[in-house]
Structure formats: C-alpha cells, structure tokens
Amino acid sequence: MKKIGILLILFTLSLNISKLKAEDGYRLWLRYDLISNAQKLQEYRRSIQAWLIEGDSPTLSVAKNELQNGINGLLGQPISNVKTIQKDGIVVAATLGKSALLTQLNLNSRLEKLNLEGFLILNTTINQKKVIVIAGKEDIGVLYGVFHFLKLLQTHQNIEKLNIESSPKVKLRILNHWDNLDRTVERGYAGFSIWDWHKLPDYLDPRYTDYARANASIGINGTVLTNVNANALVLTPAYLEKVAALADLFRPYGIKVYLTARFSAPIEIGGLKTADPLDPQVQTWWKNKINEIYQYVPDFGGFVVKANSEGQPGPQNYQRSHADGANMLADALAPHNGVVMWRAFVYDNNVPDDRAKQAYNEFKPLDGTFRSNVLIQVKNGPIDFQPREPFHPLFGAMPKTPLMMEFQITQEYLGQATNLVYLATMWKECLESDTYAKGQGSTVAKVIDGTLHEYSMTSMAGVANIGNERNWTGHPFGQANWYAFGRLAWNHELTAAQIAEDWIRMTFSNDNNIIKTLQNMMLNSHETVVKHSTPLGLHHIMGAGHHYGPGPWVSRMSRADWTSVYYHRADSMGVGFNRTSSGSDALSQYFPEVQAKFGTLENCPEAFLLWFHHVNWDYKMKSGQTLWAALCHQYYQGVEEVRQMQKSWDALETKIDETRFAQVKALLKIQEKEAIWWRNSCVLYFQTFSKQAIPKGLEQPEKSLEYYQKLSFPYAPGIRPQW
C-alpha cells in the first residue's frame, strides 16, 4: 500500500508539472489556453454559446478569426459561428451603420460619441435572448473590442454586467523601429530586425502577422519601419515595393506604415546638388517622391525626421530653420493626409552651455510657425532617455504646435535586455508631472492628449524593443514594456499597477500569489535600477558608445556633452550639475511653479537633487546622512533590491513553466552582477573626489577602480552604426 501511495503521489505531481507547458514567450500576452479556474470556465461556457460578427471586410475577417480562436482556446471547446440570434449566450460584434441590430438596440447614439476607433462592450437582450454586444464606430473599433473582450476572459473578469465604453486618448499611437536595412538594430537587444528586407516582398514571414495582432491587441495603430538615423535607399522603388507588402498585411489590423526621411535624400538618390528646403527643385523632388510613395502605399502615414542632430543632415545645413524643413515635407504630404513627426532631439554644431537647454532654445521660438500636419516629437526628458529625468521643458511651452511624446521602450540606459525593469512607472511619473502651463493640473499627459492646448493632432511614440529573438524582446519581462506602452498610449489614466496585473494574468498566471509577487517585483524594478546606476539625480554616466554599464570617468569624446564628466561635474567640493540661475539656468525654461519646486536645495526632491544642483559632499540629506553617505547607501540598496527580486522569483519555481523560469533566473543573476559592477565602479570613482570612506557596514569592492576603468566591450549589442 505504501508503494501505491507513493506512486499515486508521484503521478499527481507529474500531472501538475505537465500543466506547466514549456513556453518560449513567442505568444506574448495573446495566450488562449484553456481557463484553469473551473468555476470561471463553467461561468464563461454558460455565457458564451455562440458568436456572430455582422459584416464583411478584411478587418472584420481578422476580428472573426481572433474571436473564434480566442474563445475556442480559452473555453476548451469549439464555439460555433451563427447567423441569427436564436438562443442565449451569443457574442455579437457589429459596426455602426452596418448593423440593424445596433439600431434595434438603440446603441447608435452612444457609438456616435466615440471617436473612430472606439468600442462598446455590454450585456443586453436581443429578441429576449441574453447576448454580449461588441460594437465599434468603425470596423477597427470592433477588432479592438474583440481583443478587449478576450482580455476579460484571459484575466478572469466578470462578464455578466458589462458596460464598457472606450476610446483612445491620442490619435497616433506609434512604434518607432530603429531598424537598419542590413537588419541590424540600433539600441536593439533582442537580435536582428524582424524585417527581412531581402525576402520581401515575396515572402511574408508569419511573424509579421503576429506582430500586427500583438499591436492591435493593445491599440497601436502605426509603425515606423526604419531607423531615425535614416538611409535614403528605403525611398527607392526597390524598397517601396517591400514597404507596400508590409503595409498591405498590416492594414486590416488598423496599422499604418511610416518611414524615416533622410533630409539629404534629394542629393543621395535624386541627383540634386542641394537639399535646401527653400529650393524649388528640392520641393518638387520631395513632392514627386511622396506622390510615388502613395502609389505604393495609399494610406502611408508620413515621415519621422531626425535632422541636424548627431551628424544627421538637416535644414540648418543651409541656414534654414527646423520649421522650414518640416513645412517643406508637410506641404508635400498634406494632399495625402500624411504627417511629419519632426524630432526635437537636436545637437547644435557647437557644444552648448547645457545640452538640457538646447531643444527648448531651438524650438520654443518656432511655436506657431509649423504647418498643421507637423508634430514635434519630444523625448520624455531633456537629455536622452536617462534612467530618471525631469519632464522636458518643451511640454507646455509650445501651445500653438502639437507636441507628441517619445518614450524609449528598448532599455538603452536601463540594463538593456539583461535587466528586469518595468517602465510604466517611469512613464507615469512623466505623464503625471505638472507643467503649470495653465496653472495647477496642466500635466504632461494633458499636453500630449491635446486637452490642454486643444491640439487637433495628437500622438505618442515608443522606440521599440522588438527583434527576431523567439520571445520578441530578449528579456521575457521586456514584453511588459511593449504592452504597457500600447495601453498607456490608448489611456494614460491607467495605473502602472493595473497594466502590470493584466500583463501578468495574460502572460503568466491568474494565481493570486504569482500576481502579487510579480507585480511587486515589476512596480519596484525601475527605482531599483535607478538606485544602482544613477541615484539622486545623476545622469549620463554610462559607458561610451555602446552605453553598456558604468562609465562615470568618460572624459575624452569628440564633444564635451557626450562625456560623463560634463554631466556629473564631480570635484573636491561636491557633485551634480547646477541648473539654477547661478549655473546654466536651464531651470528657467520651466514655469515659475516648477522653478520653485526644483530651485532650492531645501525644496528640490532628492530624486532630482544632482540634476539641478551641485551639492557639497557633506550636505545633510533629509535622512540625516551626508550626501556622500546617502549616495553610497543608494548604490548598495540597489544591489540588495536585485537580490530580493532573485528570492521572489525563486519562490515561484514550481508555479512558472521551466523554460521561462530558468531564463529569468539566469538574467536576474546577470542583473545582480551588473548592479554590483555599477555600484563598485561609481562608488570608487566618486570616492576619488569625496576623499571619504565607504560607510561602515557596507561591503568593500573586491576590485580596484582601475580594474573597472579598463573593461572594454567592443562588440556590445545595439551599437550605433557608423554614418
């Protein structure tokens, strides 16, 4: 009997383990596996007996396939497609103006209030039969509604009292791929580009369809296929036919294709001697080229332009303004309803007194001079996607010009693809920051969604972290940042915690212990990496070129504002960049209330202390510690928090599938090593200025500063190509 008992126990254990299927992460959050909660499964099976989608279009065909596959997989049994409402439990999806049922239900007036991409989901009755209605103002709204409904099932939500009304808060929700035509990806840490240009247009990798599904599921409606450091060849017929093939595939998913325009293209592929935007020949060339593009892609979205920045050509090469350059392209795009997204990330030929001031100085005077189809694409902070930055001073400063947000999803300065860092908390910090442009409550989010300045054109862009690795993003948790960007672009009022919970439920499990553990790891992860890399407002102290790991000693570059010492300004007295009126005066670019918040040591939040102030090593912090002691403790605490993440993850070993568990465990070990590397390098380096001992109780670095300074990484991933 004992042997039988042992066998039974082993057999039961093997059944439990087998339920944790091997996962490679390819399915992202679109996992339609059988619902494991028996009570929920029975509830859903009672509520969903069949489905009906009225209408016929490429987008509705996509919606039909997604609804059928999703319901069948989640409910574990085939759910039939019907043509009429003959029983309870039918899911009905329909589009305004194409459905007699919506008129019968008197839903047209509610749908009219939505924007073109909005949707409704509600319980109601049709011919005395209980149904769930998914309705959109346009077909794309139906598709978005279908994805949202499937998310409700995936996350085990109640579907008996539905009354959901949803419209996106910004119009253009776009991924920026920094992908090159040779399939390398600048600042890409998940393999090569997913665009196989060599095989296009004849071979369409099934991955492209899954990419479109993933984006549509979170409301992303645009993709920029090429790097902002642009290659003019993408505008030639040989590549435009490849672009057209992708555009045709993406169209049913509501995704428009955009390209980056190299400003010198008229010279490089057009045979002209100039790219001067005021030259009639140049204007004609661009007009003809854009007309040609629309012959290939009738719904082409437009251009993203990086000009006069980091070596890229632009209108300033000809003593013209950014407005001159943007308007020239905008005029050529306007007849086709195309847009220009002109990046505000610029470098002057001369090193400014403070690079944080440059974009404001160049663009603020141009407010109101851009065409109506031009958006200025502004990074969340005034330097360059640093682990923590104050919001960019341009937000709120250009009321006559639509500004769009540029977030970086790929973790260029945040551990690349080896660190678990959930970015929604950082993005929310920026979006909720108050610009005071029109008094209290003038948040960055209200600038971006157009409500503050009544922008008619609104947009949010994210620099993609997607590559050809099987799990798309390199780090399994990197998927959460792609997911979170889409959700926030649709609705910036969602909390980081809400988004994290949905992603965990859809990607890992609906088990409350797993959700609580992973959500806690994710919500604290950004603060953790800030602590072990750039605490208290330090910034831009990473390794040169590859941006991998610490490099606070970097001092020899072709430009001073590419070095680390330019930003931290450590000396025997203290550390930090003085941006107050006694320093670079960058703080004056903000509204008075913001100046008051950051302008004094007493008022400035310690998270931004060294961003705005050069602070004495012996300055007393709010904790009572000196600045030096507080800086050390931040670095050491960051390492300890990574170790705590390891313990939290290890506790889930029996509840996470073996493949993903092992991968994340290994990556957390790498993250711990890199956190120690950052900690030791920075503490030892800044100690050469403070001349003070590392506080008692903190372990001493095993290696010398010289050891860390000699480390070299010539083949680190994501290095910018040479132009």
Rounded CA-CA distance 30/393 in Å is 38
Identify the sign of the CA torsion 272, 273, 278, 281: negative
Is 602 noted as a catalytic residue in this protein?
no
Rounded CA-CA distance 482/216 in Å is 12
Angle at 452 between CA 446 and CA 456, to 5 degrees: 95
Q: Which residue in 54, 279, 348, 384 is the catalytic one? A: 384
Rounded CA-CA distance 122/164 in Å is 6
Rounded CA-CA distance 617/542 in Å is 22
Is 640 noted as a catalytic residue in this protein?
no
Amino acid 628 reads W
SS3 string, 175-242, reads EECCECCCCCECCCCCCCCCCCCCCCCCCCCHHHHHHHHHHHHCCCCEEECCCCCCCHHHHCHHHHHH
Q: Which residue in 196, 205, 310, 657 is the catalytic one? A: 310
Exposure string over 605-622, b if 16+ CB within 10 A, otherwise e: ebebbbbbbbbbbebebe
Amino acid 167 reads S
The residue among 86, 96, 167, 182 whose CA lies nearest residue 130 is 86
Number of neighbouring beta carbons within 10 Å of residue 129:
16
Number of neighbouring beta carbons within 10 Å of residue 457:
17
Phi, psi of 223 (to 5 degrees): -140, 130
172 strand-pairing partners:
459
The residue among 155, 146, 28 whose CA lies nearest residue 466 is 28
Rounded CA-CA distance 214/216 in Å is 6
| Alpha-carbon torsion angle 592, 597, 602, 608, nearest 10 | -130
Rounded CA-CA distance 471/473 in Å is 6
Q: Which residue in 186, 276, 412, 449 is the catalytic one? A: 412
**CA 646 centroid distance within chain:** 25
Q: Could you give the 3-state DSSP secondary structure of residue 153? A: helix
Rg of the chain in Å (alpha carbons): 27
Q: Which two tokens stand for residue 298?
A: 């009738």
Q: Which residues contact 465 (CB under 8 A, 6 or more apart)?
A: 188, 189, 190, 409, 410, 411, 417, 473, 474, 478, 481, 482
Amino acid 343 reads R
Is 412 noted as a catalytic residue in this protein?
yes
The residues annotated with a catalytic role in the active site are 310, 384, 412
